[in-house]
Structure 1
Amino acid sequence: MFRRMPPDAVAGFHTGAQLHGFGAVSTAEVHVIVPAGCVVPKIQGVVAHESVLPVPVSVEIAGVPCAPAARCAVDLARVLRRMDALPLLDLCLRSGASGVDELRAEVARHGGLRGVGQARKLIGLADARSECRQESQLRLLLIDGGLPAPEPQLWVRDQDGVPLFRLDLGYRERRIGIEYDGLSHLDPDRLRHDRSRMNWLAANDWRMRYFTAADLYRRPHHILSTVAALLRP
Protein backbone atom coordinates (compact mmCIF):
# COMPACT_ATOMS: atom_id res chain seq x y z
CA MET A 1 0.00 0.00 0.00
CA PHE A 2 2.80 2.45 0.90
CA ARG A 3 4.35 1.85 -2.54
CA ARG A 4 1.37 3.69 -4.02
CA MET A 5 1.61 6.58 -1.55
CA PRO A 6 3.78 9.71 -1.86
CA PRO A 7 7.41 9.16 -0.77
CA ASP A 8 7.04 10.87 2.64
CA ALA A 9 3.79 9.11 3.64
CA VAL A 10 3.82 7.49 7.10
CA ALA A 11 1.29 5.67 9.25
CA GLY A 12 -0.33 7.98 11.78
CA PHE A 13 -3.44 8.81 13.78
CA HIS A 14 -5.36 5.58 14.71
CA THR A 15 -3.03 3.25 12.80
CA GLY A 16 0.08 4.86 14.25
CA ALA A 17 -1.31 4.60 17.78
CA GLN A 18 -2.04 0.91 17.24
CA LEU A 19 1.48 0.27 15.97
CA HIS A 20 2.94 2.05 19.00
CA GLY A 21 0.78 -0.01 21.39
CA PHE A 22 -1.82 2.50 22.57
CA GLY A 23 -4.62 2.01 20.06
CA ALA A 24 -7.47 2.84 22.43
CA VAL A 25 -9.77 3.80 19.53
CA SER A 26 -10.25 0.93 17.08
CA THR A 27 -10.64 1.42 13.34
CA ALA A 28 -10.81 -0.91 10.37
CA GLU A 29 -9.16 1.66 8.12
CA VAL A 30 -5.47 2.41 7.63
CA HIS A 31 -4.62 6.03 8.46
CA VAL A 32 -1.61 7.68 6.85
CA ILE A 33 -0.13 11.18 7.03
CA VAL A 34 0.91 12.74 3.72
CA PRO A 35 2.37 16.18 2.96
CA ALA A 36 -0.24 18.80 2.14
CA GLY A 37 -0.79 19.43 -1.55
CA CYS A 38 0.63 16.18 -2.86
CA VAL A 39 -1.25 13.81 -5.16
CA VAL A 40 -2.75 10.97 -3.14
CA PRO A 41 -4.21 7.92 -4.89
CA LYS A 42 -7.59 6.71 -3.67
CA ILE A 43 -7.21 3.31 -2.05
CA GLN A 44 -10.13 1.51 -0.49
CA GLY A 45 -9.77 1.26 3.30
CA VAL A 46 -7.06 3.93 3.46
CA VAL A 47 -7.61 7.38 4.98
CA ALA A 48 -5.00 9.96 3.98
CA HIS A 49 -4.54 12.96 6.28
CA GLU A 50 -2.92 15.86 4.45
CA SER A 51 -0.83 17.75 6.98
CA VAL A 52 0.87 21.13 6.77
CA LEU A 53 2.95 20.07 9.78
CA PRO A 54 5.69 17.74 8.54
CA VAL A 55 6.77 14.58 10.32
CA PRO A 56 10.48 15.40 10.76
CA VAL A 57 11.64 11.90 11.68
CA SER A 58 9.64 8.71 11.17
CA VAL A 59 10.16 5.41 12.94
CA GLU A 60 9.82 1.95 11.45
CA ILE A 61 7.55 -0.55 13.23
CA ALA A 62 7.12 -4.04 11.77
CA GLY A 63 8.46 -2.72 8.50
CA VAL A 64 5.96 0.15 8.35
CA PRO A 65 7.12 3.81 8.37
CA CYS A 66 5.26 5.50 11.20
CA ALA A 67 4.99 8.91 12.83
CA PRO A 68 6.50 9.08 16.35
CA ALA A 69 4.21 8.09 19.22
CA ALA A 70 3.87 11.65 20.51
CA ARG A 71 2.79 12.88 17.07
CA CYS A 72 0.15 10.15 16.77
CA ALA A 73 -1.15 10.89 20.27
CA VAL A 74 -1.39 14.65 19.75
CA ASP A 75 -3.03 14.29 16.32
CA LEU A 76 -5.71 12.07 17.83
CA ALA A 77 -6.13 14.25 20.91
CA ARG A 78 -6.92 17.14 18.56
CA VAL A 79 -9.65 15.37 16.59
CA LEU A 80 -11.27 12.81 18.91
CA ARG A 81 -14.04 13.48 21.41
CA ARG A 82 -12.67 14.39 24.83
CA MET A 83 -14.09 11.19 26.32
CA ASP A 84 -12.12 9.18 23.76
CA ALA A 85 -8.99 11.32 23.73
CA LEU A 86 -8.09 11.20 27.43
CA PRO A 87 -8.16 7.37 27.65
CA LEU A 88 -5.85 7.29 24.64
CA LEU A 89 -3.41 9.75 26.21
CA ASP A 90 -3.50 7.85 29.52
CA LEU A 91 -2.72 4.60 27.68
CA CYS A 92 0.04 6.29 25.69
CA LEU A 93 1.76 7.24 28.95
CA ARG A 94 1.00 3.94 30.66
CA SER A 95 2.41 1.89 27.77
CA GLY A 96 5.61 3.91 27.79
CA ALA A 97 5.18 4.81 24.12
CA SER A 98 5.72 8.47 25.01
CA GLY A 99 6.41 10.58 28.06
CA VAL A 100 4.48 13.66 29.12
CA ASP A 101 7.40 15.96 28.23
CA GLU A 102 7.40 14.57 24.69
CA LEU A 103 3.65 15.16 24.43
CA ARG A 104 4.01 18.74 25.63
CA ALA A 105 6.82 19.42 23.17
CA GLU A 106 4.80 17.91 20.34
CA VAL A 107 1.61 19.83 21.11
CA ALA A 108 3.64 23.04 21.12
CA ARG A 109 4.52 22.32 17.47
CA HIS A 110 0.80 22.17 16.62
CA GLY A 111 0.02 25.75 17.63
CA GLY A 112 -2.80 27.22 15.55
CA LEU A 113 -4.05 23.87 14.24
CA ARG A 114 -7.63 22.74 14.80
CA GLY A 115 -8.22 21.15 18.20
CA VAL A 116 -4.81 22.02 19.64
CA GLY A 117 -6.43 23.73 22.65
CA GLN A 118 -8.27 20.54 23.55
CA ALA A 119 -5.12 18.46 23.11
CA ARG A 120 -3.07 20.79 25.31
CA LYS A 121 -5.61 20.70 28.14
CA LEU A 122 -6.02 16.93 28.00
CA ILE A 123 -2.26 16.36 28.08
CA GLY A 124 -2.29 18.33 31.33
CA LEU A 125 -4.83 15.83 32.71
CA ALA A 126 -3.28 12.63 31.33
CA ASP A 127 -2.13 10.13 33.95
CA ALA A 128 -0.23 6.89 33.42
CA ARG A 129 -1.81 5.32 36.52
CA SER A 130 -5.22 4.95 34.89
CA GLU A 131 -5.78 1.27 34.07
CA CYS A 132 -8.78 1.24 31.75
CA ARG A 133 -10.81 3.37 29.39
CA GLN A 134 -13.77 3.74 31.76
CA GLU A 135 -11.59 4.88 34.65
CA SER A 136 -10.16 7.62 32.44
CA GLN A 137 -13.62 8.65 31.30
CA LEU A 138 -14.97 8.66 34.84
CA ARG A 139 -12.08 10.85 35.97
CA LEU A 140 -12.68 13.27 33.10
CA LEU A 141 -16.40 13.41 33.85
CA LEU A 142 -15.70 14.51 37.42
CA ILE A 143 -13.15 17.12 36.33
CA ASP A 144 -15.39 18.51 33.58
CA GLY A 145 -18.20 18.65 36.14
CA GLY A 146 -16.19 21.11 38.21
CA LEU A 147 -15.10 18.66 40.92
CA PRO A 148 -11.52 18.21 42.14
CA ALA A 149 -9.45 15.75 40.15
CA PRO A 150 -9.51 12.35 41.90
CA GLU A 151 -6.35 10.30 42.35
CA PRO A 152 -6.19 7.26 40.02
CA GLN A 153 -5.37 3.82 41.47
CA LEU A 154 -5.32 5.10 45.04
CA TRP A 155 -3.73 2.72 47.56
CA VAL A 156 -5.50 2.36 50.91
CA ARG A 157 -3.15 1.43 53.74
CA ASP A 158 -3.69 0.10 57.24
CA GLN A 159 -2.54 1.85 60.42
CA ASP A 160 0.97 0.48 59.93
CA GLY A 161 1.21 1.85 56.43
CA VAL A 162 0.83 -1.54 54.75
CA PRO A 163 -1.00 -1.24 51.40
CA LEU A 164 -4.20 -3.29 51.49
CA PHE A 165 -6.52 -2.21 48.69
CA ARG A 166 -6.28 -0.19 45.53
CA LEU A 167 -9.24 1.94 44.43
CA ASP A 168 -9.96 3.01 40.86
CA LEU A 169 -10.28 6.65 41.90
CA GLY A 170 -10.39 8.44 45.21
CA TYR A 171 -9.92 11.47 47.42
CA ARG A 172 -7.49 10.32 50.08
CA GLU A 173 -7.92 13.12 52.62
CA ARG A 174 -11.70 12.81 52.51
CA ARG A 175 -11.65 9.00 52.55
CA ILE A 176 -13.86 8.85 49.49
CA GLY A 177 -13.45 6.01 47.00
CA ILE A 178 -14.96 5.71 43.52
CA GLU A 179 -15.07 2.44 41.60
CA TYR A 180 -16.13 1.47 38.10
CA ASP A 181 -17.99 -1.85 38.13
CA GLY A 182 -17.32 -3.71 34.91
CA LEU A 183 -17.94 -7.31 33.88
CA SER A 184 -14.96 -8.57 35.90
CA HIS A 185 -16.83 -7.76 39.11
CA LEU A 186 -19.39 -10.47 38.28
CA ASP A 187 -16.86 -13.25 38.81
CA PRO A 188 -17.74 -15.23 42.02
CA ASP A 189 -14.18 -15.07 43.40
CA ARG A 190 -14.03 -11.36 42.66
CA LEU A 191 -17.38 -10.83 44.39
CA ARG A 192 -16.15 -12.53 47.57
CA HIS A 193 -12.99 -10.42 47.56
CA ASP A 194 -15.01 -7.27 46.93
CA ARG A 195 -17.34 -7.97 49.87
CA SER A 196 -14.38 -8.41 52.21
CA ARG A 197 -12.82 -5.23 50.93
CA MET A 198 -16.08 -3.26 51.18
CA ASN A 199 -16.56 -4.35 54.78
CA TRP A 200 -13.03 -3.29 55.74
CA LEU A 201 -13.34 0.08 54.01
CA ALA A 202 -16.70 0.80 55.64
CA ALA A 203 -15.33 -0.15 59.05
CA ASN A 204 -12.45 2.26 58.54
CA ASP A 205 -14.61 5.25 57.58
CA TRP A 206 -14.13 5.08 53.82
CA ARG A 207 -17.20 6.18 51.88
CA MET A 208 -17.38 4.18 48.66
CA ARG A 209 -19.51 4.73 45.58
CA TYR A 210 -19.78 2.30 42.67
CA PHE A 211 -20.81 3.19 39.12
CA THR A 212 -21.55 1.14 36.02
CA ALA A 213 -21.49 1.71 32.27
CA ALA A 214 -25.16 2.74 32.45
CA ASP A 215 -24.23 5.49 34.92
CA LEU A 216 -21.21 6.65 32.94
CA TYR A 217 -22.85 6.79 29.52
CA ARG A 218 -26.52 7.37 30.33
CA ARG A 219 -26.66 9.07 33.72
CA PRO A 220 -23.51 11.18 34.08
CA HIS A 221 -25.37 13.78 36.16
CA HIS A 222 -26.15 11.06 38.72
CA ILE A 223 -22.41 10.44 39.13
CA LEU A 224 -21.66 14.13 39.48
CA SER A 225 -24.41 14.79 42.02
CA THR A 226 -23.45 11.72 44.06
CA VAL A 227 -19.75 12.59 44.27
CA ALA A 228 -20.45 16.30 44.79
CA ALA A 229 -22.65 15.44 47.79
CA LEU A 230 -19.81 13.40 49.32
CA LEU A 231 -17.33 16.23 48.85
CA ARG A 232 -19.46 18.83 50.61
CA PRO A 233 -18.04 19.79 54.02
Structure 2
Amino acid sequence: MRELTVGRLRARLDREELLRVRRGVYADQPCGDDDELHALMLRLPDGAMLARQSAARRYGFGVLREDLVHIQLPATVPKPRLPGLVVHRTVLPVRPVLVRGLPCVPAAHCAVDLARAVRRIDALPVLDAALRSGVVSQDDLLGEVSAHAALRGVRQARSLISIADGRAECRQESQLRLILIDGGLPPPEPQLWVTDRCGVRLYRLDLGYRERQVGIEYDGLSHLDRDRLRYDRERVNWLDAAGWRMRYFTDRDLYRRPHHITATIRAALTQPTP
Protein backbone atom coordinates (compact mmCIF):
# COMPACT_ATOMS: atom_id res chain seq x y z
CA MET A 1 0.00 0.00 0.00
CA ARG A 2 1.30 3.49 -0.89
CA GLU A 3 0.22 7.12 -1.19
CA LEU A 4 -1.03 8.55 -4.51
CA THR A 5 -2.09 12.00 -5.65
CA VAL A 6 -5.84 12.59 -5.66
CA GLY A 7 -5.95 12.67 -9.45
CA ARG A 8 -4.04 9.44 -9.95
CA LEU A 9 -6.07 7.76 -7.21
CA ARG A 10 -9.38 8.67 -8.86
CA ALA A 11 -8.12 7.52 -12.25
CA ARG A 12 -7.04 4.13 -10.93
CA LEU A 13 -10.34 3.74 -9.07
CA ASP A 14 -12.26 4.56 -12.24
CA ARG A 15 -10.25 1.92 -14.12
CA GLU A 16 -10.91 -0.52 -11.25
CA GLU A 17 -7.17 -0.94 -10.76
CA LEU A 18 -7.63 -0.15 -7.07
CA LEU A 19 -10.18 -1.20 -4.48
CA ARG A 20 -11.18 0.84 -1.46
CA VAL A 21 -10.37 -1.12 1.70
CA ARG A 22 -11.11 1.63 4.19
CA ARG A 23 -11.37 5.38 3.99
CA GLY A 24 -7.95 6.61 2.92
CA VAL A 25 -6.61 3.08 2.31
CA TYR A 26 -6.70 1.27 -1.04
CA ALA A 27 -5.36 -2.01 -2.45
CA ASP A 28 -4.69 -3.35 -5.93
CA GLN A 29 -6.33 -6.74 -5.26
CA PRO A 30 -9.17 -8.19 -3.15
CA CYS A 31 -8.36 -8.31 0.55
CA GLY A 32 -8.91 -10.95 3.20
CA ASP A 33 -9.74 -10.32 6.85
CA ASP A 34 -6.12 -9.82 7.87
CA ASP A 35 -5.52 -7.41 4.97
CA GLU A 36 -8.49 -5.33 6.08
CA LEU A 37 -7.12 -5.25 9.60
CA HIS A 38 -3.72 -4.14 8.29
CA ALA A 39 -5.54 -1.33 6.49
CA LEU A 40 -7.38 -0.42 9.68
CA MET A 41 -4.13 -0.24 11.66
CA LEU A 42 -2.89 2.41 9.22
CA ARG A 43 -5.76 4.64 10.35
CA LEU A 44 -5.20 4.13 14.07
CA PRO A 45 -2.90 6.07 16.43
CA ASP A 46 0.40 4.68 17.65
CA GLY A 47 0.00 2.16 20.43
CA ALA A 48 -3.17 0.59 19.03
CA MET A 49 -3.32 -3.20 19.09
CA LEU A 50 -5.97 -5.85 18.54
CA ALA A 51 -7.67 -7.01 21.74
CA ARG A 52 -10.47 -9.18 23.15
CA GLN A 53 -12.34 -11.22 20.48
CA SER A 54 -10.23 -9.88 17.60
CA ALA A 55 -6.92 -10.86 19.21
CA ALA A 56 -8.30 -14.18 20.45
CA ARG A 57 -9.22 -15.18 16.92
CA ARG A 58 -5.69 -14.48 15.68
CA TYR A 59 -4.22 -16.55 18.50
CA GLY A 60 -6.48 -19.50 17.76
CA PHE A 61 -8.99 -19.32 20.62
CA GLY A 62 -11.70 -17.20 19.06
CA VAL A 63 -14.74 -19.06 20.38
CA LEU A 64 -16.85 -15.91 20.81
CA ARG A 65 -18.54 -13.95 18.03
CA GLU A 66 -16.44 -11.20 16.48
CA ASP A 67 -18.96 -8.87 14.86
CA LEU A 68 -16.80 -5.78 15.44
CA VAL A 69 -13.07 -5.10 15.58
CA HIS A 70 -11.78 -4.78 19.13
CA ILE A 71 -8.67 -2.70 19.76
CA GLN A 72 -6.87 -1.54 22.89
CA LEU A 73 -5.39 1.91 23.42
CA PRO A 74 -3.55 3.58 26.30
CA ALA A 75 -5.81 5.78 28.41
CA THR A 76 -4.03 8.95 27.25
CA VAL A 77 -4.53 8.38 23.49
CA PRO A 78 -7.60 10.04 21.90
CA LYS A 79 -10.31 7.61 20.86
CA PRO A 80 -10.58 7.22 17.06
CA ARG A 81 -14.07 7.49 15.59
CA LEU A 82 -14.27 4.79 12.96
CA PRO A 83 -17.24 2.55 12.09
CA GLY A 84 -17.14 -1.06 13.24
CA LEU A 85 -14.56 -0.37 15.95
CA VAL A 86 -14.73 -1.04 19.70
CA VAL A 87 -12.04 0.72 21.74
CA HIS A 88 -10.90 -0.66 25.09
CA ARG A 89 -8.75 1.39 27.44
CA THR A 90 -5.97 -0.12 29.51
CA VAL A 91 -4.26 1.04 32.68
CA LEU A 92 -1.78 -1.84 32.57
CA PRO A 93 1.50 -1.69 30.66
CA VAL A 94 1.16 -3.91 27.60
CA ARG A 95 3.81 -4.81 25.03
CA PRO A 96 2.18 -5.84 21.72
CA VAL A 97 2.88 -9.18 20.05
CA LEU A 98 2.89 -9.45 16.25
CA VAL A 99 0.56 -12.19 15.03
CA ARG A 100 0.57 -12.54 11.23
CA GLY A 101 1.99 -9.03 11.15
CA LEU A 102 -0.79 -7.56 13.30
CA PRO A 103 -0.08 -6.05 16.73
CA CYS A 104 -2.08 -7.90 19.40
CA VAL A 105 -2.22 -7.79 23.16
CA PRO A 106 -0.32 -10.80 24.59
CA ALA A 107 -2.32 -14.04 24.55
CA ALA A 108 -2.60 -14.42 28.33
CA HIS A 109 -3.65 -10.77 28.69
CA CYS A 110 -6.29 -11.27 25.98
CA ALA A 111 -7.70 -14.40 27.64
CA VAL A 112 -7.90 -12.79 31.08
CA ASP A 113 -9.49 -9.62 29.67
CA LEU A 114 -12.24 -11.71 28.10
CA ALA A 115 -12.64 -13.87 31.20
CA ARG A 116 -13.17 -10.68 33.23
CA ALA A 117 -15.55 -9.01 30.80
CA VAL A 118 -17.95 -11.61 29.37
CA ARG A 119 -20.62 -13.72 31.03
CA ARG A 120 -19.38 -16.57 33.19
CA ILE A 121 -20.97 -19.13 30.85
CA ASP A 122 -18.92 -17.69 27.97
CA ALA A 123 -15.73 -17.03 29.92
CA LEU A 124 -14.77 -20.64 30.66
CA PRO A 125 -14.90 -21.62 26.96
CA VAL A 126 -12.41 -18.83 26.26
CA LEU A 127 -9.98 -20.07 28.90
CA ASP A 128 -10.39 -23.71 27.85
CA ALA A 129 -9.78 -22.79 24.20
CA ALA A 130 -6.76 -20.66 25.11
CA LEU A 131 -5.19 -23.63 26.90
CA ARG A 132 -6.11 -25.98 24.08
CA SER A 133 -4.50 -23.67 21.50
CA GLY A 134 -1.16 -24.05 23.27
CA VAL A 135 -0.37 -20.33 23.21
CA VAL A 136 -0.79 -20.05 26.99
CA SER A 137 -0.40 -22.31 30.00
CA GLN A 138 -2.24 -22.41 33.32
CA ASP A 139 0.75 -20.69 34.93
CA ASP A 140 0.63 -17.95 32.27
CA LEU A 141 -3.02 -17.27 33.08
CA LEU A 142 -2.44 -17.29 36.84
CA GLY A 143 0.47 -14.89 36.45
CA GLU A 144 -1.55 -12.58 34.23
CA VAL A 145 -4.65 -12.53 36.44
CA SER A 146 -2.52 -11.37 39.38
CA ALA A 147 -1.66 -8.24 37.38
CA HIS A 148 -5.39 -7.53 36.97
CA ALA A 149 -6.03 -7.74 40.71
CA ALA A 150 -7.77 -4.37 41.07
CA LEU A 151 -9.78 -4.54 37.86
CA ARG A 152 -13.46 -5.32 37.42
CA GLY A 153 -14.32 -8.99 36.94
CA VAL A 154 -11.00 -10.32 38.19
CA ARG A 155 -12.66 -12.58 40.78
CA GLN A 156 -14.63 -14.33 38.06
CA ALA A 157 -11.51 -14.75 35.92
CA ARG A 158 -9.46 -16.12 38.82
CA SER A 159 -12.11 -18.64 39.84
CA LEU A 160 -12.52 -19.92 36.28
CA ILE A 161 -8.78 -20.25 35.65
CA SER A 162 -8.67 -22.76 38.50
CA ILE A 163 -11.06 -25.09 36.62
CA ALA A 164 -10.02 -24.33 33.03
CA ASP A 165 -9.08 -27.41 31.02
CA GLY A 166 -7.54 -27.51 27.56
CA ARG A 167 -9.02 -30.92 26.78
CA ALA A 168 -12.45 -29.41 26.04
CA GLU A 169 -13.02 -29.46 22.28
CA CYS A 170 -15.85 -26.98 21.84
CA ARG A 171 -17.62 -24.11 23.54
CA GLN A 172 -20.68 -26.17 24.49
CA GLU A 173 -18.59 -28.86 26.19
CA SER A 174 -17.00 -26.17 28.36
CA GLN A 175 -20.38 -24.68 29.19
CA LEU A 176 -21.84 -28.07 30.05
CA ARG A 177 -18.93 -28.76 32.39
CA LEU A 178 -19.38 -25.39 34.08
CA ILE A 179 -23.10 -25.98 34.66
CA LEU A 180 -22.30 -29.23 36.45
CA ILE A 181 -19.56 -27.66 38.58
CA ASP A 182 -21.71 -24.64 39.47
CA GLY A 183 -24.51 -27.07 40.33
CA GLY A 184 -22.35 -28.56 43.07
CA LEU A 185 -21.27 -31.73 41.25
CA PRO A 186 -17.67 -32.97 40.99
CA PRO A 187 -15.85 -31.76 37.88
CA PRO A 188 -16.40 -34.31 35.09
CA GLU A 189 -13.44 -35.50 33.03
CA PRO A 190 -13.33 -33.94 29.54
CA GLN A 191 -12.76 -36.15 26.51
CA LEU A 192 -12.90 -39.36 28.54
CA TRP A 193 -11.71 -42.48 26.69
CA VAL A 194 -13.56 -45.75 27.26
CA THR A 195 -11.52 -48.90 26.64
CA ASP A 196 -12.38 -52.55 26.08
CA ARG A 197 -11.23 -55.38 28.36
CA CYS A 198 -7.82 -55.39 26.66
CA GLY A 199 -7.29 -51.70 27.30
CA VAL A 200 -7.84 -50.67 23.70
CA ARG A 201 -9.43 -47.24 23.34
CA LEU A 202 -12.81 -47.55 21.64
CA TYR A 203 -14.95 -44.51 22.32
CA ARG A 204 -14.33 -41.00 23.56
CA LEU A 205 -17.01 -39.19 25.57
CA ASP A 206 -17.45 -35.42 25.75
CA LEU A 207 -17.53 -35.61 29.54
CA GLY A 208 -17.79 -38.35 32.09
CA TYR A 209 -17.29 -39.80 35.55
CA ARG A 210 -15.14 -42.86 35.08
CA GLU A 211 -15.63 -44.49 38.50
CA ARG A 212 -19.41 -44.13 38.36
CA GLN A 213 -19.53 -45.03 34.64
CA VAL A 214 -21.65 -42.01 33.80
CA GLY A 215 -21.07 -40.44 30.37
CA ILE A 216 -22.29 -37.04 29.19
CA GLU A 217 -22.64 -35.92 25.58
CA TYR A 218 -23.62 -32.65 23.90
CA ASP A 219 -25.60 -33.27 20.70
CA GLY A 220 -25.09 -30.51 18.16
CA LEU A 221 -26.02 -30.31 14.49
CA SER A 222 -23.31 -32.77 13.47
CA HIS A 223 -25.27 -35.57 15.13
CA LEU A 224 -28.10 -35.15 12.60
CA ASP A 225 -25.99 -36.62 9.81
CA ARG A 226 -27.17 -40.11 8.79
CA ASP A 227 -23.72 -41.74 8.96
CA ARG A 228 -23.06 -40.07 12.31
CA LEU A 229 -26.41 -41.33 13.59
CA ARG A 230 -25.51 -44.93 12.67
CA TYR A 231 -22.15 -44.61 14.45
CA ASP A 232 -23.80 -43.04 17.51
CA ARG A 233 -26.33 -45.85 17.81
CA GLU A 234 -23.60 -48.50 17.57
CA ARG A 235 -21.60 -46.70 20.21
CA VAL A 236 -24.58 -46.25 22.55
CA ASN A 237 -25.41 -49.96 22.37
CA TRP A 238 -21.81 -50.94 23.18
CA LEU A 239 -21.55 -48.48 26.08
CA ASP A 240 -24.88 -49.63 27.51
CA ALA A 241 -23.79 -53.25 27.37
CA ALA A 242 -20.53 -52.29 29.11
CA GLY A 243 -22.45 -50.71 32.01
CA TRP A 244 -22.17 -47.03 31.08
CA ARG A 245 -25.13 -44.77 31.83
CA MET A 246 -25.14 -42.19 29.04
CA ARG A 247 -26.96 -38.88 29.27
CA TYR A 248 -27.44 -36.56 26.28
CA PHE A 249 -28.16 -32.83 26.16
CA THR A 250 -28.90 -30.25 23.46
CA ASP A 251 -28.75 -26.48 23.09
CA ARG A 252 -32.24 -26.24 24.63
CA ASP A 253 -30.97 -27.87 27.82
CA LEU A 254 -27.78 -25.84 27.86
CA TYR A 255 -29.29 -22.40 27.41
CA ARG A 256 -32.85 -22.75 28.70
CA ARG A 257 -32.87 -25.32 31.48
CA PRO A 258 -29.45 -25.85 33.04
CA HIS A 259 -31.05 -27.09 36.27
CA HIS A 260 -32.41 -30.05 34.30
CA ILE A 261 -28.84 -30.97 33.35
CA THR A 262 -27.64 -30.85 36.94
CA ALA A 263 -30.61 -32.83 38.26
CA THR A 264 -30.24 -35.50 35.56
CA ILE A 265 -26.54 -36.07 36.21
CA ARG A 266 -26.95 -35.98 40.00
CA ALA A 267 -29.58 -38.71 39.71
CA ALA A 268 -27.32 -40.79 37.46
CA LEU A 269 -24.40 -40.48 39.89
CA THR A 270 -26.49 -41.70 42.82
CA GLN A 271 -27.65 -44.84 41.03
CA PRO A 272 -25.81 -48.04 41.93
CA THR A 273 -23.03 -48.95 39.52
CA PRO A 274 -24.04 -51.95 37.38
The TM-score bracket by the shorter chain reads over 0.9
CA distance in 2 between partners of 1:221 and 1:194 (Å): 26
1:139 corresponding residue in structure 2: 177
Bigger CA drift: 78-87 or 32-41?
32-41
Does residue 26 in structure 1 map to residue 26 in structure 2? no
Letter in 1 for 2:62: G
SS of the residue corresponding to residue 75 of structure 1 reads helix
CA distance in 2 between partners of 1:173 and 1:46 (Å): 50
Bigger CA drift: 113-122 or 58-67?
58-67
CA distance in 2 between partners of 1:192 and 1:29 (Å): 40
Kindly name which structure, 1 or 2, has the bigger radius of gyration based on alpha carbons.
Answer: 2
Pick from 81, 85, 98 the counterpart of residue 119 of structure 2: 81
Q: Decide whether aligned partners of structure 1 residues 66 and 202 sit closer, same or farther in structure 2, where only a CA change above 3 A counts.
A: same
TM-score between both structures, scaled by the size of structure 2:
0.82
Letter in 2 for 1:36: A
Task: Give the % identical residues.
Answer: 60
Check the 8 A contact 1:5/1:40 in 2, yes or no.
Answer: no
Shift of 1:29: 1.3
Does residue 42 in structure 1 map to residue 81 in structure 2? yes
Does residue 108 in structure 1 map to residue 146 in structure 2? yes
- Greater RCO structure (CA 8 Å; 6+ sep): 1
Does residue 151 in structure 1 map to residue 189 in structure 2? yes
Does residue 51 in structure 1 map to residue 85 in structure 2? no
Bigger CA drift: 188-197 or 69-78?
188-197
SS of the residue corresponding to residue 185 of structure 2 reads coil
Bigger CA drift: 7-16 or 148-157?
7-16
Unaligned runs of at least 5 residues, structure 1: none
Check the 8 A contact 1:94/1:129 in 2, yes or no.
Answer: yes
CA distance in 1 between partners of 2:93 and 2:68 (Å): 22
Shift of 1:205: 0.9
Check the 8 A contact 1:22/1:97 in 2, yes or no.
Answer: no
Shift of 1:157: 0.8
TM-score between both structures, scaled by the size of structure 1:
0.96
Does residue 162 in structure 1 map to residue 200 in structure 2? yes
Check the 8 A contact 1:154/1:167 in 2, yes or no.
Answer: yes
1:128-174 CA deviation, whole Å, 9 max, x = no partner?
11011111110000001111100000000111111111000000000
Shift of 1:192: 1.3
CA distance in 1 between partners of 2:99 and 2:46 (Å): 17
Aligned-residue RMSD, C-alpha: 1.2
Letter in 1 for 2:162: G
Task: Spell out the pairing of 1:66-215 with structure 2 (5 A cutoff).
Answer: 66-215=104-253
SS of the residue corresponding to residue 50 of structure 1 reads strand
Check the 8 A contact 1:32/1:47 in 2, yes or no.
Answer: yes
Shift of 1:193: 1.2
CA distance in 2 between partners of 1:171 and 1:63 (Å): 44
1:7 corresponding residue in structure 2: 46
Shift of 1:7: 1.8
CA distance in 2 between partners of 1:229 and 1:196 (Å): 25
CA distance in 1 between partners of 2:104 and 2:233 (Å): 47
Letter in 2 for 1:196: E
Check the 8 A contact 1:142/1:149 in 2, yes or no.
Answer: yes
1:160-210 CA deviation, whole Å, 9 max, x = no partner?
111111000000000000011111111111111111111111111111111
